[in-house]
Amino acid sequence: MLFHRGGSMRRTRWATGMGAGLLALLAVPAVAMADGKTLEMAQSEGGLPIEVGLNSTFILIAAVLVMFMQAGFAFLEIGFSRGKNVGTVIAKILVNFSIAAIVFWAVGFAFAFGDGNWFIGTSGFFLAGENASGAFGAINVAEGTITVEMLFFFQLMFAAVSLAIVWGTTLERVKFGVYVIYSIVFAAIIYPIGAHWIWGGGWLAEQFSIQDFAGSTVVHLIGATGGFAALLLLGARRGKYGKDGKPRAIPGHNMPLFGLGVLILWLGWFGFNPGSTLGALDGRFPEIAVVTNMAAAAGVLGAVGLMYIKTKKIDIGMAGNGAIGGLVGITAPSGYVEIWAAPIIGFVAGVIVVYGVLAIDKWIDDPVGALSAHGLAGIWGTIACGLFTSTRLAEYNGVGEAGLFYSGSFTQLFNQTVGVVAAFVFVFALSFATFWVIKKTYGLRVTAEEEDAGLDISEHGMYGYPEQFIPAPELVGYSPAGSAAPAAAPRATTREVPA
């Protein structure tokens, strides 16, 4: 493809992928799209019970914090990308979040949390029906829980985070239309079924009592597994591996933005874990907030310390991924472990992230380290429940039993392992099949020329940093009038410009 005067490039017709993906929604039968009965209930009873109002407000705040994590993912991925691939991240975040919102409302939420069977939920589509809240066993307004709208809104944010994890692995070479197609499948089928198995009364919950308080497996491992399936078919960025097969560093262009992204994600986790109590009045959330922070801090120290031992340098990227690894690691145990266990879990997660990134990078190009920070740390966090879950919190939550260090029994450790394996196999199989079909029909990655030019211009027809890539004579408004000397028209090139 060639540049036109003005710096634009013929846009790849990813709209074909969007159209193909959105056709999936046409298969959904028409239903009565009534809202839940929250307002009607409040009017008939003279107002919602005070407990429901307070708990729902708490969950709304928690959900907004989790939604803000999308900004964290955006900054983190932009920081780890080269300057020619930064604008596409914003388009990706906005489009994928929007697809998840519509699809999860239509079918995903019902599949995940609606009353159903051991495999999938079968009620509550579009939040419709005479009594929408009655289709979801997780809530009971009469007993002071949250409204069905707040349960949906909160769980939507979790689904969107899991989807964002998938795409962090594919930066700088994937077609934009792939996001659209897979996001529909993920939000409608893959994530909801995995969530139903553990959180919605499915077979892993009923037969194995899997402990995953806020989603080390349900959110983070599922997302990382989808990314792993994509990478096996997508391949590495051009230039990542030399002729000898050894990996070469492709530095991100802005580590301060990466650090800002990590801090936003850290902040968002105080909605992620404490909000998973689904209420404020039982007094659980303050302890969970402390547990969450302790693990994150220990994750940073574990990753930084190990990298310093290895390289005698303080690695910025590993410091950030150590924080994320600690947070992912404590996500499942946050409601099950005592405060003393949190730094241990977080520290181990930070160490796992370092070894995982270094090992995976030899074979698979994961630009942000998501397979380690979300995948391996998610596995560790889920397994950690089988070791550190305290007797009092297992009894309070009414899920499973105490971990090995309290009970001396391997039962919960075994159950946690079953949950990890089952979730990984299911998500990998469906994700790999989906990406394989996409590759054979629409295609997964852009052309070599488009990759060299950058996804900002090849997929979107504009640059995230125009002053770096558009020839100076054409940058109207970026320098004082008349300061630029006349210049010949720029020659077409696909040569990469350093970011």
pLDDT over threshold 90, residue 218:
yes
Band of pLDDT at residue 467, cut at 50, 70 and 90: confident
- Is the predicted pLDDT of residue 20 greater than 80, yes or no? no
Determine which of 46-55, 66-75, 198-207, 231-240 has the lowest per-residue pLDDT on average: 46-55
DSSP-derived secondary structure letter, 247:
B
CA separation for the pair 196, 198 (Å, rounded): 5
What's the pLDDT at 496?
47
Report the C-alpha gap between 450 and 12 in whole angstroms.
Answer: 9
What digits encode the pLDDT tens for the residues 350-369? Answer: 999 999 999 999 999 999 99
The yes-or-no verdict on residue 135 having pLDDT over 80 is no
Q: pLDDT-derived band of residue 128, with 50, 70 and 90 as boundaries?
A: confident
| Alpha-carbon gap, residue 230 to 176, rounded angstroms | 14
Q: How far is CA 298 from CA 31, 275, 330, in A?
A: 49, 22, 11
C-beta of residue 169 within 8 angstroms of C-beta of residue 230: yes
- Closest by CA to 167, choosing from 104, 229, 98, is 229
Q: What confidence score (pLDDT) does residue 43 get?
A: 72
pLDDT digits (tens, 9 = 90+) for 306-352: 999 999 999 999 999 999 999 999 999 999 999 999 999 999 999 99
What pLDDT shows up at residue 37?
A: 64
Tokens of 9: 């490039």
Q: Report CA-CA distances (Å) from 467 to 461, 464, 473.
A: 15, 9, 11
Question: CA 450 to CA 491: how far, in whole Å?
Answer: 17
Report the SS3 class of residue 9: strand
- Mapping DSSP onto H, E and C, the string for 63-112 reads HHHHHHHHHHHHHHHHHHCCHHHCHHHHHHHHHHHHHHHHHHHHHHHHHH
Mean pLDDT, rounded, of the chain: 88
- The residue written with tokens 């907030």 in the block is 289
Taking the model in full, what pTM does it have?
0.88
> DSSP H helical segments within 273-315, as ranges?
285-311
**Contact in structure between 423 and 218 (CB atoms under 8 Å):** yes
pLDDT score, position 127:
84
Instruction: Name residue 275's amino acid.
Output: G
Are 134 and 195 in contact by the 8 Å Cβ rule? The answer is no
